[in-house]
Structure 1
């Protein structure tokens, strides 16, 4: 299969959102404004081109969860994946088209700033116990053995403003959003 694999560099126009499917799985989306500028030799100055807006979509669950927890409006991003155009008909019957990047990788662009990395667990919830995981199963230490979920709870409180005991249904409520409307 011939695909257009590319990397885009730009800024998130809003916080990333996640949509959970009834049958399982999820999709995270964020729109990235890709700005370009050029040097106008006659005017002897840098000029901005019109920004291109690319919707970045992530379907791999571990990356989708990390993106929704990490990407906030205005953050500079580097995204790599398969570029496609998506066409649909809006509520008024108009044909609309957008650029869509099916991302394999999403990263914070460190060209003009810094970031801190925190390794995340492969899944938010242990399928066997229903406990919120705080560490990877292959790196579980004393905190995991004692049943401490403080780090995961703090992360969720910061992300969604929720406090107290969290169950699996709470996690779904924290991250679900309605399917976006393209009208």
Structure 2
């Protein structure tokens, strides 16, 4: 499907709101604010420039992950499809812009995060642990050999960010 691809870097400016659809699909909506920064040539001070506030919508599993991971004030990077919605309020024509997110994540240039990958074991005959991971991942020596940076392999998915 064609569409206008956009990437926005900014902060979540509203609460992350969960709004399930009538058929039970998860839907999350929030707004991102992004402010241009530039250095004034005369004063050599950094100043705020133009501001952008734009709505973001996430669906299904991504919506669940965003709701569990991000909150108002978090620095984020959003990639998705840009769309406009025209409407009339009173007698005035208005337009609203919104991103349907393909990817959402914490902006790691402004803090650190811990990521937990969501793993699925559908249709597999491999034995799984209580978190649905292959049982062989429980052996720490396997994790250390299988993960070149020595991290952990864990179950349910979410990321938490700490701005710095």
TM-score where L is the length of structure 2: 0.69
Q: Supply the distance in 2 between the matched residues of 1:70 and 1:15 (Cα, whole angstroms).
A: 12
State the number of aligned residues: 133
Query: 1:33-112 residue pairs with structure 2 within 5 A?
Result: 33-59=33-59, 61-90=60-89, 92-112=90-110
Report Cα offsets for 1:30-61 as digits up to 9, x if no partner. 100011111221332221013210111112x1
Query: 1:84-163 residue pairs with structure 2 within 5 A?
Result: 84-90=83-89, 92-120=90-118, 137=122, 141-144=128-131
The structure with the greater share of residues assigned to helix is 1
What secondary structure, in the 3-state scheme, does the structure 1 residue paired with 2:130 have?
Answer: helix
Q: Where does the alignment leave 5 or more consecutive residues of structure 2 unmatched?
A: 133-154, 159-164
Bigger-Rg structure (1/2): 2
- Cα distance, 1:94 vs. partner? 3.3
Q: Where does the alignment leave 5 or more consecutive residues of structure 1 unmatched?
A: 123-135, 146-150, 156-183
- Cα distance, 1:83 vs. partner? 1.3
Q: Supply the distance in 2 between the matched residues of 1:50 and 1:110 (Cα, whole angstroms).
A: 23
Q: Supply the distance in 1 between the matched residues of 2:131 and 2:70 (Cα, whole angstroms).
A: 27
Residue of structure 1 in register with 2:152 after alignment: none
